[in-house]
Amino acid sequence: MHPAIPLLLELQKTDNEIAALRANLETAPKRIRENDAKLNGARSAVAAAKDALAQIVATRKKTEFEVSEWRERAKKFRSQTSAVKTNEAYKALLHEIANAEAEMGKLEDVQLEQMMSAEEAEKNVKASEAALRQSEQSIVVNLLGDFCARSKPQTAGRYFFARKNRRANSRGSSGCLHARRKTPPRRGACRGRERTVPRLRHAIASARLPGSVQTGKS
């Protein structure tokens, strides 16, 4: 095989990766606009649901205030019935009391409808917020997927060279045996070995057998 063929294959692979990155870069503005539109739509839905809920709550408070007014009015008319002295005045008070109770009953029916509308509005708010979170999560997942797909070759290359450098450093240039071990050496172990070996050599060189000593004296 010609020695240039592996280089050409590697060059072709690099060109393909560059083409894929350029294509992804060209489609990036479109994807950004789509994601922005998706998020803006979800945020607008949340804002609209919250506004609707706020309007219903404000209307409920107004209705509650009107009900309390009619209740106080009916109470006031009832308290006046014991003080009237004519039948006409008594009948007039009874008519006002009945009118106040009728208005109060109508408003209480409106309150029930408003309570149901408020519950439905709260459900819409929760649903719109859940849709917004889902949209944000889907966009993040897509971005992470694209990033991992693009960075996988570079990550593998960095891992290979880092592992190669660790192996080269593990060999080391020191003569100590602990330099090649995975576990850290004991403090002073190599230094103690370096001191012990010369002492042994000196002891062996200075040792004399009794026979050799006598021979030397003779």
Whether residue 165 is found in the same domain as residue 192: no
- 181 vs 73, residue with greater confidence: 73
Whether residue 190 is found in the same domain as residue 117: no
- 10 vs 59, residue with greater confidence: 59
Number of domains in the chain: 2
Residue 90 burial (CB < 10 Å; 0-12/13-18/19+)? middle
pLDDT at 159 over 80: no
Whether residue 141 is found in the same domain as residue 71: yes
Whether residue 79 is found in the same domain as residue 55: yes
In a domain, 197, yes or no: yes
Residue 104: C-alpha distances to residues 57, 85, 110 (Å): 19, 28, 10
Spatial distance between the Cα atoms of 7 and 5, rounded to a whole number of angstroms: 5
> What DSSP element (H or E) covers 194?
helix 189-206
Supply the pLDDT for residue 189.
Answer: 46
Tens digits of per-residue pLDDT, 184-194? 545 544 454 44
* 176 neighbors 185 (Cβ within 8 angstroms): yes
Whether residue 124 is found in the same domain as residue 198: no
Percentage of the chain beyond pLDDT 70 is 66
- 200 vs 11, residue with greater confidence: 11
- Who's near 214: CB < 8 A, 6+ residues apart? none
* 144 neighbors 62 (Cβ within 8 angstroms): no
Boundaries of domain holding 185: 177-206
Least confident of 35-39, 67-71, 154-158, 213-217: 213-217
- 160 vs 89, residue with greater confidence: 89
Whether residue 167 is found in the same domain as residue 181: no
Residue 100 burial (CB < 10 Å; 0-12/13-18/19+)? buried
Whether residue 199 is found in the same domain as residue 91: no
In a domain, 217, yes or no: no
In a domain, 211, yes or no: no
Whether residue 161 is found in the same domain as residue 183: no
